[in-house]
A and B are shown apart, each in its own frame.
Chain A
C-alpha cells in the first residue's frame, strides 16, 4: 500500500499536476462564486480538456474543481443572497441574514473551515470504505449489478427530488437515450433513424454540455443585467471567532459529516440533497430551532460541512461499482470510459495508484481550500461583478468547441444544442435535469446486466431474489419505493379510518 501511495505522490508532485491543481482550484472557485454557473456545468466543460490529459490528472482536475466550487457557492449566498451553486441553497437565508447583522466575515470564515473539514471527513470515509467495498464487489455478478443500478435509479427518483413523478419522467428520458444505438443482445440498431452517428448511441459528453451548459446559458439570458448590492467584506477578519463557533457545534459537525457522506454514497443523491437533509437534522436537534432561517450560524455549520463531505462519498459507488453517486461522478464515469478504464472493483487491483491519487487529491484540495478560499473571499467583490453579458457568450463558445472536440463532429454540436433546448424546457417546467444523466449512465448497466442474467439463467426470474446479496439489494430497492408511503400505510393499518 505504501508503494502505491508513494507512486501516487510522485505522480502528483510533477509540475504539470501542481499547475493543473492550481488552475482547477481557481476555475472551481470562479464557477462556484458566480451565480448561475454550477459545479456540474464546470465538470462537463472540463471534459473536453481531460480528453487530452492522462487519466490521473483528469481525475485530479475534477476532484479539485468540485471541492472548490461547492465551497465557493457559499460566497454569493452570504453576500447577495443568491446561492452560487444549488448546494448552498439550504442555508442561503441564514447566511444573508447574518451578513445584514454585520457578521459576513464570521459566516464566510465558518463556510470555508466547515467546507474543508467536511471535505476531509468525506476523504477519510472514501479511503476506508472504498477498498473494503471493492473486496465485496469482486464477488458481484450480473444479478447484483442489476439491483445496484436499480437501487441507484430508485434513489434518484424517490430521495433526490421533490417531485418523484417528474424526476421519474426525466430518468426515463435518460434511459431512453441510453437505448439509442446498437442493442447489446443482437446488435440491432434502435432509434437511429438511419443516422450513422447514432449507431454508437447518444454521445454522453455533448449531451452533458448541452443539458448543463447550454440550458444554463439560455436560462441566464433573462438576467443579463443582474445588479445586486454587494456587501464589502474584510477578508483579514474572516477567521476570528470561527474556532469558538466550531467548538461549540463540534457534535453537529460530526453528525453533518456523517449525513453528507451517507447521502454521497447513496447512488443518485448529491451535495444539494445532503445540505438540505443536514439542515433539517440540525433544526430537529437544535436547542434554538426558532432562529433557523432568521440568521442562525448553527445550520450553516451543519449544511456547510455536509455538502462538502458528500463529494468524496459520491466517488465511493462511482469507483467501486461504476454507479454514479451524483451528476458530477456520472461525468467522471464517462471520462474513465473515454480513457478505456472501466470503473469497478478491478480498477483497485489494476491501477491502485489512480485510486490513491483520487484520495490524495481530495486531501490536498481540502487543505488548499483554506488559503484559496481566503483569496476568493478577498476578491469576492470583483468576482460578483463579472459582466454576465460577456461571460455567458464566452461560456457558450467553450460549449460549442468542447462538444466538437470529442469526435470532431458537427453532429455533436447539434446534439448539444438539442439537449440544451431540452434542459431549458425541462427546468422551466419543474422537471429536474440531473436524473437524465443518471439514466444515461445507468441505462446500459441495468439493461446489460438484466439481459445477461436472463440469458445465463434461461429466463429464470427467481435468481434475482434467491442469491443472498441480490436479495438484500432487492429489498433495499423495494424499500426505497415503499418508504414514503409507509407512514400512511401504518396509519391505515392501525387506525382503520384515520382523519383525512
Chain B
C-alpha cells in the first residue's frame, strides 16, 4: 500500500493546517502571551513545512503511486488478510459486551486463523483453548473485568 510521496506530503500539509485551524479559538494567557495554542500551532506549522518538503522531493524524483498496485489491491492476499483483522477487531469491540469475552474472543481467533488457511478443526481447537488460557490469565489471575456476556462464567 505505497502511496506517492507527493500525496503523503500534501496530506501532512493539510493535517498541519487543520491542527492550526483547530487552535484558533484557544484562550491566551494574561497580557496576551500565547498559552495552550503555542505548542500545537508550532507543530502544525512544522508538520506543514516538512510535509511540503516531502511532497516537493516526491515531485522532483517522480515518485508516484503505483496505479497497477492499487488496481491489484483487491487481489493481494496480504492486504485482504489485513482488512480481515481490522474488521474483526472492530466487530470484537462492538460485540464483546453482549456476547462476552469467551465467545467473542474465540470467534475472532477462529475466523482469522481460518482465513489464514488453518484447517477448521485445528483452528476451532486452538481458538477455544488459547482463548480460555488468556481468559484465565487476565480474568482470574490479574483480575481484569473482561465482559461475561451471555456465558455465566
Interface residues of A (CB under 8 A from B): 48-49, 51-52, 165-166, 168-169, 172-173, 175-176, 179, 183, 185-186, 188, 190-191, 214, 217-219, 221-225, 387-390, 392-394, 396-398, 400-401, 404-405, 408, 410, 413-414, 417, 420-421, 424-425, 428-429, 431, 447, 450-451, 454-455, 459
**Besides A172-B43, A186-B36, 7 other A-B contacts (C-beta < 8 A):** A176-B19, A221-B116, A224-B81, A224-B117, A397-B130, A400-B89, A425-B1
The residue of chain B having its C-beta at the shortest distance from the C-beta of A424 within the complex is: B82
Interface residue B140 (Cβ < 8 Å from any Cβ of A): no
Checking B3, B51, B85, B116 against A169 with a beta-carbon cut-off of 8 angstroms, the contacting residue is: B51
Given A186-B27, A191-B22, also A168-B3 (CB < 8 A):
no
Interface residue B118 (Cβ < 8 Å from any Cβ of A): yes
Given A185-B35, A421-B86, also A222-B77 (CB < 8 A):
yes
Checking B50, B97, B108 against A172 with a beta-carbon cut-off of 8 angstroms, the contacting residue is: B50
Interface residue B2 (Cβ < 8 Å from any Cβ of A): yes
Interface residue B78 (Cβ < 8 Å from any Cβ of A): yes
Interface residue B17 (Cβ < 8 Å from any Cβ of A): no
A429 to B86, CA, bound (A): 19
Instruction: Check B144–A401 contact: CB distance below 8 A.
Output: yes
Interface residues of B (CB under 8 A from A): 1-3, 5, 8, 12, 16, 19, 22-23, 26-27, 29, 33, 35-36, 38-40, 43-44, 46-47, 50-51, 53-54, 57, 76-79, 81-82, 84-86, 89-90, 92-93, 96-97, 101, 105, 108-109, 112-113, 116-118, 126-127, 130-131, 134, 138, 142-146
A52 to B77, CA, bound (A): 39
A48 contacts across to B, CB distance below 8 A: 142
Instruction: Check A393–B47 contact: CB distance below 8 A.
Output: no
B3 contacts across to A, CB distance below 8 A: 429
Instruction: Check B36–A165 contact: CB distance below 8 A.
Output: no
Instruction: Check B85–A186 contact: CB distance below 8 A.
Output: no
A175 to B39, CA, bound (A): 9
The residue of chain A having its C-beta at the shortest distance from the C-beta of B89 within the complex is: A417
16 A-B contact pairs sorted by A residue (CB < 8 Å):
A165-B50, A185-B29, A190-B40, A218-B82, A221-B78, A222-B79, A225-B117, A392-B112, A393-B116, A396-B108, A400-B89, A400-B92, A404-B146, A405-B142, A417-B86, A429-B1
Instruction: Check B1–A396 contact: CB distance below 8 A.
Output: no
The residue of chain A having its C-beta at the shortest distance from the C-beta of B127 within the complex is: A393
Q: Which of B1, B50, B51, B76 has the most CB of A within 10 A?
A: B50
A420 to B23, CA, bound (A): 27
Given A224-B81, A408-B145, A447-B39, also A165-B117 (CB < 8 A):
no
B89 contacts across to A, CB distance below 8 A: 214, 396, 400, 413, 417
